[in-house]
Structure 1
Amino acid sequence: MLNAHGPGWPSVALGWALLLAGFFGGFFSFLLYVRSERWFIAQFLVMGLSSLLLCGVAAAVSGSVEDEVLQTRGRHTMCTVVEVDEQRHTTTHYDSVGNVTHTSTRTDYVHRLNCAAGRPDKFIMGVRWASPGSRVDVTYDPRGRIGAVPTSLVGGQGEPWPLVWAGLGVVITVRLGYVAVFFVAERRST
């Protein structure tokens, strides 16, 4: 999200730092309430759920900002697809001992472009969007902060704000409900 308006890589680093600080701050704040071991698992699950919901809300807001940037300052141009490169990215996951637990593969399709405006020179999708020689209407950020996408996808995500507000409401309700239940249960047990 900060990459759309900020000065480049420092904004990306700041965005990740804020996201991680929020996640870990929300997740590990339950340690402030731990008074007995019998509530530890419940607290761990509630804080994990809250943190995951907050990350989902952050991702929805980030996607919305990028889409809005392309809608407001994006430029349209007609491009010819010159070539489509298929790139496979394989990630191997290990357990704490070093044994392979599983391997995942993601495929990206890099569509190399020849555009009337001279740029962009490519867009990357998780699917093959067009074949070489095809003409595609592309929207790109003239500042180069957001990757180019086919124009038909701009504005197609819809407004996530009801989802964002619902997610925040659920997080707040879970958190306040957890604190209330925890303190009532602790007071009864003492």
Structure 2
Amino acid sequence: MDRATLIRRSLPYAGAAAVPAAAGTGMWLWAARGLRGPDGFPTVLAAAGGLVLALVALVAQNALFRKEGGIAALVLLLAGLAAAWVEARDSAVRGAVTDCVVVGEIRVTHHPTFGEGAPPPKTLYHHTLDCAGGHPREISAEERIAEPGGTVRIAYDPAGRMDPVPERLNTAHGSPVLPAALLVLSTALTVVALAAEGRTEERRN
């Protein structure tokens, strides 16, 4: 096999890896940049940019590998990009902290689960806050963070992109493992299909 033929046959495999890798990296960087710190993008702009990036990746994957990998590869690609957005968001921390007093009664809501495999039932405690500077005005948590009249330190995003949390919970916990696994699976499906198509062409020739 000459060098030109080898390069020609290798290009589709390189593309099958490059599209998910580039899209996943771009989604992570965009989401982290858009949601992190006081200089991040407004929520609408950050979300719109993420949707555009996902659409471009899906169009590129479909155009380059319409047959190879099929719908399953596209679904895994989309799932990987969505996971990258969520995990990058969770890797951000709120940029401001303030002292707040819980005022009024704490409102409690119950959120039941539906069906096997669904998330467990959840109880939320809604606290009205009187904070230095006036923000945030309320916080919802799965526990009572303080009784009425009590003081608590709250971490919040001045741009309103993320919900406020008690300062002790303002930690980064996003991980690239899940999105990377989904994107690798998408690549693997396409590569396997490319190899099968190559063997079919060789038999025809």
Give TM-score scaled by structure 1 length: 0.61
Q: Which has more strand, going by share of residues?
A: 1
Measure the CA separation in 1 of the matches of 2:67 and 2:163.
Answer: 44
* SS of alignment partner, residue 32 of structure 1: coil
Measure the CA separation in 2 of the matches of 1:17 and 1:55.
Answer: 9
* SS of alignment partner, residue 6 of structure 1: coil
Which structure exhibits the higher relative contact order, with contacts defined as CA atoms closer than 8 Å and separated by 6 or more residues? 2
Measure the CA separation in 1 of the matches of 2:107 and 2:61.
Answer: 40
Matched, 1:80 2:107: no
CA distance 1:122–1:75, shift in 2 (3 Å): same
- In structure 1, give the amino acid aligned to 2:145: A
> Which residue matches 2:192?
178
Give the superposition deviation at 1:128.
Answer: 2.6
Alignment of 1:1-190 (within 5 A): 1=31, 2=34, 5-7=40-42, 9=44, 11-15=45-49, 17-18=51-52, 21=55, 24-25=58-59, 32-33=66-67, 43-64=70-91, 66-67=92-93, 70=94, 74-82=95-103, 83-87=105-109, 108-125=124-141, 127-133=142-148, 134-157=150-173, 160-161=175-176, 163=177, 166-167=180-181, 170-171=184-185, 173-174=187-188, 177-188=191-202, 190=204
- In structure 2, give the amino acid aligned to 1:55: A
Structure 1 residue runs without a partner (length 5+)? 35-41, 93-103
Measure the CA separation in 2 of the matches of 1:106 and 1:16.
Answer: 29
CA distance 1:46–1:143, shift in 2 (3 Å): closer
Give the superposition deviation at 1:150.
Answer: 1.0
Two-structure CA RMSD over aligned residues (Å): 4.0
Q: How many residues align?
A: 163
Q: Percent identity?
A: 22
Q: Deviation per CA, 1:14-65, whole angstroms, max 9, x where unpaired?
A: 145336525754775587226xxxxxxx73333323332232122211222x
CA distance 1:20–1:26, shift in 2 (3 Å): same
